[in-house]
Chains A and B, each alone.
Chain A
Amino acid sequence: MAKIELKNLSKTFGSTDVIRSVDLTINAGELMVFVGPSGCGKSTLLRLICGLEDITSGALLFDGVSMNDKVPSERGIAMVFQSYALYPHMSVYKNMAFGLKLANFSNKEMEARVIEAAKMLQIDHLLDRLPKQLSGGQRQRVAIGRAIVRDPRVFLFDEPLSNLDASLRVDTRLEIAKLHHKMKNTTMVYVTHDQVEAMTLADRICVLRDGNIEQVGTPEELYSHPKSLFVAGFIGSPKMNFLTGDIAEKHQCHTLGIRPEHLVIDHNDGIWSGEVVHTENLGADFFLFLDLGIKDPLVVRLDGQQRIPLGTQVNVRPLEEHLHRFDNNGLPITSTANSETI
């Protein structure tokens, strides 16, 4: 159980600032996801918490105790790497026991812990195999198992699913979610570039951009109340529609955001009308791309099977309570001025 505090944390490589004065508190027992585009500093931040990178300035505290000077093994952490990073010459058992052996655990204790973790992950029949004899998913489990046996206060994941194929990724995601429910006392930090992974796993999400924190909040908060244009665009799939120009000005903002799922076809009251230029049928969802005469087509999400031929003229109406208004700095306009806009 550890509360992680990052105070004014910075990291520079040479002359580039990778992390710029980050302040963040990760509550004990929660699963925090760092998400952001590549190069945003999310992995570096994780490695600072892990201790694999040195902190340029600022403080890192676990339960109020400074970790700046502690090597990774003294921090009570465990990490699951993107490439699994299993020791290729050691059996699964030895891979999982290596850390315990270095920490001078007795053979009995070591065996008990490894077998318990292996049973939990259903890899107890693989203990004598070498990593190269395992499938990708099994390797990932061993990597997780190796972390579990250490009984860490803090569990770190560095894009653990990116090497798995799509179907396995969903299964393993579920597996990690289950793990989080089982290990209630362990704080987890999870790095990903995939916002779907972030939304499905996180208790709270921290969106990073250029070494700064854009927003921290629950998935629901980020989805409903993005605190910047960047977050609004990053969270949600397909992306939120952004409208500028005349349409936005009518709503007294620089950029108007509306998610595809918050648009409805309304031939009478539809305030925006456009020609269908493209459709995507995903089975459960149906996406309509409307040309409103602005740069990007407006994406509308409809339910189930639809048949709307290209070239049809369609009127749509945004759900007013789901409109997001941003000023020219990309910051949300907070006054609840819905009535004015109509």
Chain B
Amino acid sequence: MTNKTLRNNIAFYAIVVVIVLISVFPFYYAILTSFKTGTDLFKVNYFPSSFDFRNYIDILNNGKFIRSTLNSIFIASTTVVFALFLAVTASYALARVRFRGRGLLLMTILAVSMFPQIAVLAGLFELIRFIGIYNTPWAMILSYTIFTLPFTVWVLTTFMRDLPVEIEEAAIVDGATPWVIITQIFMPLLWPALVTTGLLAFIGAWNEFLFALTFTASETMRTVPVAIAMLSGSSQYETPWGLIMAASVLVTVPLVILVLIFQRKIVSGLTAGGVKG
């Protein structure tokens, strides 16, 4: 009997180890590679063999990469702030006010967030050319709204629906208008949800590739994902793997740290966005 439970335990932990290994290994290997240069790069190692910071020095001295990072930070933050600003008031209306067509409206918003982005590419391209923001960060900020805004509205609506009704009613009796209720009562109560939603939207905007690829022309306007995808070596046939891995690690580590810090909240945000429906 104990033999059997022991065997079961070992099998269970073996599965756990395999899950963790598969999850973590590619990132671990990227870090490993990022510290390798020259011919070291072409020897397969499973454990750290050399610590050469040259890739990191190179990528940080490469002005274009820094520029792309700044572009990405600016674009993702602006998009998120913009989306949250519009979404907070909209989600109050969707969560707390009864009106005809509310269900349909919510569904439409969800549908927009599930949009194939390619379907609007041609129209957006025209719009962006028309406004004259092609090849500027504003092109991305405008186009990212198409997925960040519905997402934030949807998630905040589910969070806002869960706030107790009586607190809102107490505020109404106290003479609070809907605007005061949102800004002075709900926002302070919802800030964890706002942070989570904002973070998820930020990650979405940070990782976006199709629009960033299409709406930028010059290297200085690229965002991080495009820059990494386009990173090339001295010759066309040589891929600078060490450099690419160093850049990848640099843009991923902050994200991984953020995600691990906000682990629990992110899961609740994802569930709110995905499951509660």
Q: Which residues does A use to contact B, with CB under 8 Å?
A: 50, 52, 71-73, 77-79, 81-83, 85-89, 98-99, 102-103, 146, 150
Q: What's the least CB distance linking A81 to chain B, in Å?
A: 5
- Chain B, interface size category, equals 10 to 19
Asked if B253 is an interface residue, CB under 8 A from chain A, the answer is: no
Chain B: which residue is nearest A104 at the CB level? B175
Identify which of B151-159, B162-170, B202-210 touches chain A. Answer: B162-170
Query: Are B174 and A102 touching (Cβ within 8 A)?
Result: yes
A residues within 8 A CB of B184? 98
In the complex with contacts A50-B173, A78-B173, A79-B173, A85-B167 CB distance below 8 A: yes
In the complex with contacts A88-B189, A89-B189, A102-B180, A83-B164 CB distance below 8 A: yes
Chain A: which residue is nearest B172 at the CB level? A72
Q: What's the least CB distance linking B168 to chain A, in Å?
A: 8
Across the A-B interface, the 5 shortest Cβ-Cβ residue pairs: A73-B175, A99-B174, A85-B166, A85-B170, A89-B188
Query: Are A52 and B169 touching (Cβ within 8 A)?
Result: yes
Q: What's the least CB distance linking B180 to chain A, in Å?
A: 7
Q: How far is the CA of A71 from the CA of B172 in the complex (A)?
A: 8
Asked if B176 is an interface residue, CB under 8 A from chain A, the answer is: yes
Contact of A102 among B164, B169, B175 (CB under 8 A): B175
Contact of A77 among B167, B171, B173, B176 (CB under 8 A): B173
Q: What's the least CB distance linking B172 to chain A, in Å?
A: 5
Q: What's the least CB distance linking B231 to chain A, in Å?
A: 47
Asked if B185 is an interface residue, CB under 8 A from chain A, the answer is: yes
Chain B: which residue is nearest A150 at the CB level? B174
Chain B: which residue is nearest A99 at the CB level? B174
Q: How far is the CA of A85 from the CA of B167 in the complex (A)?
A: 5
Query: Are B174 and A81 touching (Cβ within 8 A)?
Result: no
Tell me what chain A mostly uses at the interface: helix, strand, loop, or mixed. Answer: loop
B residues within 8 A CB of A98? 171, 174, 176, 184
Q: What's the least CB distance linking A23 to chain B, in Å?
A: 25
Q: How far is the CA of A81 from the CA of B170 in the complex (A)?
A: 8
Query: Are A103 and B175 touching (Cβ within 8 A)?
Result: yes
B residues within 8 A CB of A82? 166
Q: How far is the CA of A99 from the CA of B172 in the complex (A)?
A: 9
B residues within 8 A CB of A102? 174-176, 180
Q: Which B10-28 residues have C-beta < 8 A from chain A?
A: none
Q: Which residues does B use to contact A, with CB under 8 Å?
A: 164, 166-167, 169-176, 180, 184-185, 188-189
Query: Are B175 and A85 touching (Cβ within 8 A)?
Result: no
Contact of B164 among A71, A73, A78, A85 (CB under 8 A): A85
In the complex with contacts A83-B164, A85-B164, A87-B185, A73-B174 CB distance below 8 A: yes
Contact of A81 among B169, B185, B188, B189 (CB under 8 A): B169
B residues within 8 A CB of A72? 172-173, 175
Query: Are B175 and A79 touching (Cβ within 8 A)?
Result: no
Q: What's the least CB distance linking A171 to chain B, in Å?
A: 23
A residues within 8 A CB of B174? 73, 98-99, 102, 146, 150
B residues within 8 A CB of A89? 188-189
A residues within 8 A CB of B171? 87, 98
Chain A: which residue is nearest B185 at the CB level? A87
Contact of A79 among B164, B167, B170 (CB under 8 A): B170
Query: Are A99 and B169 touching (Cβ within 8 A)?
Result: no
Q: How far is the CA of A87 from the CA of B183 in the complex (A)?
A: 13
Q: A79-B169, A85-B170 are in contact. List 7 more A-B contacts (CB 8 A).
A: A52-B172, A81-B166, A87-B167, A87-B170, A88-B189, A89-B189, A102-B176
Q: How far is the CA of A98 from the CA of B186 in the complex (A)?
A: 14
A residues within 8 A CB of B166? 81-83, 85
Query: Are A73 and B169 touching (Cβ within 8 A)?
Result: no
Of B172, B174, B188, the most chain A CB neighbours within 10 A belong to B174
Query: Are A99 and B175 touching (Cβ within 8 A)?
Result: yes
Contact of A85 among B169, B176, B189 (CB under 8 A): B169
Q: How far is the CA of A243 from the CA of B205 in the complex (A)?
A: 75
A-B contact pairs, 13 of them (CB 8 A): A52-B172, A73-B174, A73-B175, A73-B176, A79-B169, A81-B170, A85-B167, A85-B169, A85-B170, A98-B174, A99-B174, A102-B180, A146-B170
Q: What's the least CB distance linking A158 to chain B, in Å?
A: 9
Q: How far is the CA of A87 from the CA of B180 in the complex (A)?
A: 13
B residues within 8 A CB of A103? 175
Q: How far is the CA of A71 from the CA of B173 in the complex (A)?
A: 8
B residues within 8 A CB of A87? 167, 170-171, 185
Q: How far is the CA of A71 from the CA of B189 in the complex (A)?
A: 25
Q: How far is the CA of A193 from the CA of B104 in the complex (A)?
A: 39
Chain A: which residue is nearest B177 at the CB level? A102
Q: How far is the CA of A78 from the CA of B180 in the complex (A)?
A: 18
A residues within 8 A CB of B170? 79, 81, 85-87, 146
